[in-house]
A and B are shown apart, each in its own frame.
Chain A
Amino acid sequence: MVDIPLDQVAGIPPAEVGEVELYHPRSWWTRYVFSQDAKVIAVQYSITAMSIGMVALVLSWMMRLQLGFPGTFSFIDANQYLQFITMHGMIMVIYLLTALFLGGFGNYLIPLMVGARDMVFPYVNMLSYWVYLLAVLVLAATFLVPGGPTGAGWTLYPPQAILSGTPGQDWGIVLMLASLILFIIGFTMGGLNYVVTVLQARTRGMTLMRMPLTVWGIFTATVMALLAFPALFVASVMLLLDRLLGTSFFMPTLVEMGQLAKYGGGSPILFQHLFWFFGHPEVYIVALPAFGIISDLISTHARKNIFGYRMMVWAIVAIGALSFVVWAHHMYVSGMHPYFGFFFATTTLIIAIPTAIKVYNWVLTLWRGDIHLTVPMLFALAFIVTFVNGGLTGLFLGNVVVDVPLSDTMFVVAHFHMVMGIAPIMAVFGGIYHWYPKVTGRMLNDVLGKFHFWVTFIGAYAVFFPMHYLGLLGMPRRYHDIGETSFVPASAHDLNAFMSVAALIVGFAQLVFLFNLVWSLLKGKEAGGNPWGATSLEWQTPETPPGHGNWGKNLPIVYRWAYDYSVPGAARDFVPQNEPPSGVVAQGAHS
């Protein structure tokens, strides 16, 4: 073997940035509570997000109880029903999914997958979590203030969001907006870290086109969030001023409780534009990380390289860019010039092209693969099915003429729960089952995992498949009690009751998952460093769970992409990214 100098290995350029000394915690507090280690911050983010997510889950039970058995539960009145809807939606979309994908998965996986020791600015990263926690606490406080949380719907449309008569008009809406502003500030601190770490702190040999697709998904979603959240920030500030100072940004002249309100001359449509300029990219902010995670899970568990890696990357970037020019498809019924409707319908349908490329590539990755039906793989497969399903109903709603009759029916609810509720949650579960062994060093229990999967998967379809049908019947959404109507047959109410029972069962299945998380932490099977035989860098750490600084003495050197599975002639059916090609002495690499 030839002696190769450290700085020139098989065409790998020398290190461009010297090692940056890490902050070393000196006490229990700075190690586990005020920690600057991205891995600890990731776990903090995940636990906080899942805790508030459980609240939202219980709220969904309340809604389903009311819808399935109207009039039976006297403790749910119309106001509370609206409050439950609002908080369920807001928590699930922003405080659970966004925080879990970017703050949780992002913090844990980005430094490990690109071969960095930590995020570039760990202190700012720590602040990000604490501001997020504050946002969650302010949000949770709305349940305790006089009048309760706001019942304006998760879109918080003015004018009704801040007028009397809407529940939570006193305190709820104010705290909700304050919490959103805090969330955005906290997210920005974390998001800047994720973007700069991916762009500027990769290890030697890790070109952008060698990064695992999980990093690509989280990175693109973070860039989008940094550009989309400003619109929500501005909308929140202006709505807060309308509510507290009596400005009229969004408030037209109107009569409130029989009296002329103090407002005049504002534009409610302006709020909708700002909200959806954030709101539509938000859909892809939770979808793109899911895309990335699913790509890695499928490739790893089918023991086959991802099909069309470059196309997958470009599809992620294209979806990210296109999602900024489709926002008004949420506003077809708000009143819009027909040409704008035409424009936004066209851009919306164009997004189907890169998305379809991704779905085909996943399927072609599975084609003739060595598919292991592990729990993460089951969730990954469920994601593909569910996402295709939700995507197809999206084609209905993206067309103006089809959207108008379907707007504000249960069809819309079914569509977005499929595409950005169930599908991303499948990716979250798949990701947790996949990476839990790296985070804790122990495997999650397989039997409990499979039980959790089947109940969740079948249960979710039992809830949301019939909902499409109810929507086509014309059953409106956000109604506390639809009562007797000529167009909704009596059988629809039986269907509603069935869906509610299914929703309760799915909810309880999540307790099995939580039990599994805790039980496996103590009693789970030892995982070892690389239980799935995966190629990407996070599985090649010298310690499991990875220690402070991730990589021991030397940073890994990357020689190949992340998808060398079942390479002909290789000794094993996977070749780690940091395994040098034959003839090169491994340096700084741990395998």
Chain B
Amino acid sequence: MAETALTHPEAAPGTIPGLRGIAADWASDQRAFKNVSWGKAMMWIFLLSDTFIFSCFLLSYMTARSSTTVPWPNPSEVFALNLGGKHIPLILIAIMTFVLISSSGTMAMAVNFGYRRDRVRTAALMLATAAFGATFVGMQAFEWTKLIMEGVRPWGNPWGAPQFGACFFMITGFHGTHVTIGVIFLIAIARKVLRGDFDRERRGFFTSRKGYYEIVEITGLYWHFVDLVWVFIFAFFYLW
């Protein structure tokens, strides 16, 4: 084994065909993922772990919903608003989803301008993203208030299965917490961008590590993930 390793040095990545090539690339020298920084790798792995958390929440909700013996409240009715004298189903959720998806667009643009080292535009777009995020959380707060006023509680509601309120508050609350944390991060990073920390390689207050523009992209990864999760919550909770 040792002799083999010495006389046949590892082949350059991407030169062995087939499955053995995949294994060899993954197992290659120093880094499994070439040209992926530590921070980005860490965020991806964290998001994988977080995916399992949201999956467990959503699966638990689906179990509760499909095994309950009392009727599940009708989402189109529950999440409807009266606007201008008209009863419009799911209008608030539609707007919230639109806002959150738009924020993914501004985030992607911020990443682009970040790599061009355009401080002002990057920071402005990140703050726009944060504003969209804050709007989303604000509308969620409005939705919670409305439902609470109508008598929805974690332990019961006027229309059917008590698990409706429990799942709703838990899952949207957990997602809303993610959005809120994202907003805080966006504002903090935007401040650093605007101040020019990443141009001057200023050291972080806690970590005393130099910062790089890549952090904009890493924050973006988190933000897109939170958006993606919302798509699933939207589909499974509101459209089912």
Chain B residues with CB under 8 A of A274: 56, 60
From B55, B68, B166, contact of A241 by CB (8 A): B166
Chain B residues with CB under 8 A of A267: 63-64, 67
From B34, B55, B207, contact of A23 by CB (8 A): B207
* Chain B min CB distance to A115 (Å): 9
Q: A529-560: contact bitstring with B at CB < 8 Å (1 yes, 0 no)?
A: 00000000000000000000000000000011
Chain A residues with CB under 8 A of B207: 23, 121-123
Q: A259-286: contact bitstring with B at CB < 8 Å (1 yes, 0 no)?
A: 0001011110010001001000000000
Chain B interface bracket (under 10, 10 to 19, 20 to 34, 35 or more) = 35 or more
Q: A88-101: contact bitstring with B at CB < 8 Å (1 yes, 0 no)?
A: 00000000000000
Q: Counting CB contacts under 8 A, is B45 at the interface?
A: yes
Q: Counting CB contacts under 8 A, is A4 at the interface?
A: no
For chain A, what secondary structure do more than half of its interface residues adopt (helix, strand, loop), or is it mixed? loop
Asked if residues A204 and B29 are in contact (CB atoms below 8 Å), the reply is: yes
Q: Counting CB contacts under 8 A, is A128 at the interface?
A: no
In the bound complex, CA of A191 to CA of B46 (Å): 9
Q: Counting CB contacts under 8 A, is B235 at the interface?
A: no
* Chain A min CB distance to B166 (Å): 4
Asked if residues A561 and B5 are in contact (CB atoms below 8 Å), the reply is: yes
Q: Counting CB contacts under 8 A, is B6 at the interface?
A: yes
Q: Which residue of A lies closest to B51 (CB)?
A: A230
Q: A107-120: contact bitstring with B at CB < 8 Å (1 yes, 0 no)?
A: 00000000000001
Asked if residues B154 and A201 are in contact (CB atoms below 8 Å), the reply is: no
* Chain B min CB distance to A195 (Å): 6
In the bound complex, CA of A530 to CA of B192 (Å): 47
Binds A, one of B36-44, B109-117, B140-148: B36-44
Q: Counting CB contacts under 8 A, is A392 at the interface?
A: no
Q: Counting CB contacts under 8 A, is A247 at the interface?
A: yes
Q: Counting CB contacts under 8 A, is B78 at the interface?
A: no
Asked if residues B33 and A199 are in contact (CB atoms below 8 Å), the reply is: yes
Q: Counting CB contacts under 8 A, is A364 at the interface?
A: no
In the bound complex, CA of A202 to CA of B28 (Å): 10
* Chain A min CB distance to B44 (Å): 9
Q: Which of B141-166 contact A (CB under 8 A)?
A: 154-155, 161-163, 165-166
From A12, A241, A559, A561, contact of B154 by CB (8 A): A241
Of listed A11, A202, A206, A575, residue having the most chain B CB within 10 A: A11
Chain B residues with CB under 8 A of A120: 38, 42
Q: Which residue of A lies closest to B208 (CB)?
A: A23
Asked if residues A227 and B52 are in contact (CB atoms below 8 Å), the reply is: yes
Q: Counting CB contacts under 8 A, is A411 at the interface?
A: no
Chain B residues with CB under 8 A of A121: 38-39, 42, 207
Q: A207-B27, A227-B48 are in contact. Are A16 and B34 (CB under 8 A)?
A: yes
* Chain A min CB distance to B37 (Å): 8
Asked if residues A237 and B170 are in contact (CB atoms below 8 Å), the reply is: yes
In the bound complex, CA of A537 to CA of B37 (Å): 24
Chain A residues with CB under 8 A of B48: 226-227
From B6, B10, B42, B162, contact of A247 by CB (8 A): B162
Asked if residues B42 and A192 are in contact (CB atoms below 8 Å), the reply is: yes
Asked if residues B30 and A204 are in contact (CB atoms below 8 Å), the reply is: yes
Asked if residues B170 and A238 are in contact (CB atoms below 8 Å), the reply is: yes
Q: Which of B22-36 contact A (CB under 8 A)?
A: 26-34, 36
Chain A residues with CB under 8 A of B19: none
Asked if residues A233 and B53 are in contact (CB atoms below 8 Å), the reply is: yes
In the bound complex, CA of A229 to CA of B53 (Å): 9
Q: Counting CB contacts under 8 A, is B57 at the interface?
A: yes
* Chain B min CB distance to A260 (Å): 14
In the bound complex, CA of A229 to CA of B45 (Å): 14
Asked if residues B30 and A15 are in contact (CB atoms below 8 Å), the reply is: yes
Q: Which of A281-309 contact B (CB under 8 A)?
A: 305, 309
Chain B residues with CB under 8 A of A20: 209
Chain A residues with CB under 8 A of B208: 23
From B26, B46, B64, B174, contact of A266 by CB (8 A): B64
In the bound complex, CA of A235 to CA of B67 (Å): 18
From A201, A210, A231, A246, contact of B155 by CB (8 A): A246
Asked if residues A561 and B29 are in contact (CB atoms below 8 Å), the reply is: no
Asked if residues A202 and B70 are in contact (CB atoms below 8 Å), the reply is: no
* Chain B min CB distance to A1 (Å): 17
Asked if residues B42 and A262 are in contact (CB atoms below 8 Å), the reply is: no
Of listed A201, A208, A237, A249, residue having the most chain B CB within 10 A: A249
From A200, A202, A230, contact of B53 by CB (8 A): A230
Q: Counting CB contacts under 8 A, is A245 at the interface?
A: yes
Show 26 A/B contacts (Cβ-Cβ < 8 Å), sorted by A.
A10-B9, A15-B30, A120-B38, A121-B38, A192-B49, A196-B38, A199-B31, A200-B33, A200-B41, A201-B31, A201-B38, A207-B29, A226-B52, A229-B49, A230-B55, A233-B53, A233-B56, A237-B170, A237-B174, A246-B154, A247-B170, A248-B155, A265-B162, A266-B64, A270-B60, A274-B56
In the complex, besides A21-B209, A23-B207, A226-B48, 6 extra interface pairs with C-beta distance below 8 angstroms are A17-B31, A123-B206, A192-B42, A234-B56, A246-B154, A265-B64
Top-4 shortest CB links A-B: A11-B9, A208-B27, A247-B166, A230-B52
- List chain B positions with a Cβ less than 8 A from chain A: 1-2, 5-6, 9-10, 26-34, 36-39, 41-42, 45-46, 48-50, 52-53, 55-57, 60, 63-64, 67-70, 154-155, 161-163, 165-166, 170, 174, 206-210
